[in-house]
Structure 1
Amino acid sequence: MTEIRTPRLVLRRWLDDDVVPLSEIHADPVVMQRIGDGTPRSPEETAQDIEAWEEEWDEEGFGMFAVELLGSGELAGAVGLSVADAPAEVAGQVAISWRLGRVFWGQGYASEAAHATLEFALQDRGLDRVVAVCRTSDEASVNVLDKLGMQAEGTAQHPVHGYDLAVYGIDLTQYQE
């Protein structure tokens, strides 16, 4: 079982007990406004997300981690890697993404978890490049990407919803621990 420990977090594979707390995060419209079309997700949809993430782990050797607080064991959200299907500018490349419950925002958890995930991608899994996309208006995510050392590579349009996306990337030669 793949598990990464940081000073404050455990990044691990998904458990059945994670559906309820992740469903609570997915039910928050403020969290979800940064994901897809912004629609909150039902517990059934959340269970499907977790199932798909676990399938990607089995198929690709990477996926979305459950982010757990080391001290309390509380589920803070998800961070991880996936093969991007859109926008066209990054399709087929490995992308990093995250979503945390609103109560965990502003405490550096996203940066801590994303840094550990990027290190996992480039050093443990031997990937040469990782990309990321976020809404251009999502200043918090842009800040995390900057902290990771990812470089802005341009913009794109969300292929379904039409909003502006910032495209970032980093390759192994640019990565600094």
Structure 2
Amino acid sequence: MTKGPELKTERLLLRRWRESDRAPFAAMNADPAVMEHFVSPLSEADSDAFVDRMEAAFERDGYGLWAVEVRETGDFVGFTGLSRVTFDAPFVPAVEVGWRLAHHAWGRGFAPEAARAALGFAFDTVGLAEVVSFTAPVNERSQAVMRKIGMRRDPDGDFDHPRVPEGHPIRPHVLWRIGVHDWRRA
């Protein structure tokens, strides 16, 4: 895995993926609490394939979903970053800010701290005009992060996620947005 853009916050380092991240990432993706708002937990092979896709995005786009580590300890705690939306929806083309953290890292403010760094990169380095985020309506924790980072809910943009099977309880998704002007005012 190659060197690429790193982002530092007061407590976190957002960096490219390392081979040593794969095992804790697979354990995180197998945790039912972490994966509560997804179709299902991921197998180790699916988790590894996800790492490969995240790394490919950095090579293709110059940004992606960074591995997040706690600077003080060096502990890997999940990912946060930017991802091109690759499915068909009315708001596409778009770039999403997203995160997934290990259960032991919840409630410490890491998700909004890392997401703010990713948004800063999106607007100040990549030059994006807008970033979106989305989740199932029942995922209140992620929506709380979206609020904390200055995003606004766009009820007109709510959609059925095309990669979630029809009839699945998490197929409906809510859309959140933040534009560069709102980011700069915040």
Instruction: Please classify the TM superposition score into its range, dividing by the shorter chain length.
Output: over 0.9
1:169 aligns with 2:177: yes
Gaps of 5+ in 1: none
Contact 2:5 2:63 (C-alpha < 8 Å) held by counterparts: no
Q: TM-score scaled to structure 2, two decimals?
A: 0.89
Question: Please, which moves more after superposition, 86-95 or 145-154?
Answer: 86-95
1:114 aligns with 2:115: yes
How much does 1:124 deviate?
Answer: 1.3
> Residue deviations 1:56-105, cap 9 Å, x none?
11111110000001111111001111111236133321011110001111
Q: Which letter does structure 1 place at the counterpart of 2:49? A: Q
Q: What is the distance in 2 between the residues matched to 1:161 and 1:68?
A: 33
Q: 1:86-105 alignment to 2 at 5 Å?
A: 86=87, 88-105=89-106
In the comparison of the two structures, how many residue pairs are matched?
Answer: 175
Structure number with the higher strand fraction is 1
Q: 1:14-53 alignment to 2 at 5 Å?
A: 14-35=17-38, 37=39, 39-53=40-54
Gaps of 5+ in 2: none
Indicate the RMSD between aligned Cα atoms, in angstroms. 1.3
Q: Which letter does structure 2 place at the counterpart of 1:174? A: D
1:156 aligns with 2:159: yes
Identity over the aligned pairs, expressed in percent?
33
Q: What is the distance in 2 between the residues matched to 1:46 and 1:53?
A: 11
Q: What is the distance in 1 between the residues matched to 2:105 and 2:90?
A: 31
Q: What is the distance in 2 between the residues matched to 1:4 and 1:23?
A: 23
Q: What is the distance in 2 between the residues matched to 1:29 and 1:73?
A: 25
User: Equivalent residue for 1:144?
Assistant: 145
1:124 aligns with 2:125: yes
User: Equivalent residue for 1:69?
Assistant: 70
Contact 2:16 2:67 (C-alpha < 8 Å) held by counterparts: yes
Runs ≥4 in structure 1, deviation > 4 angstroms? none
Contact 1:83 1:91 (C-alpha < 8 Å) held by counterparts: no
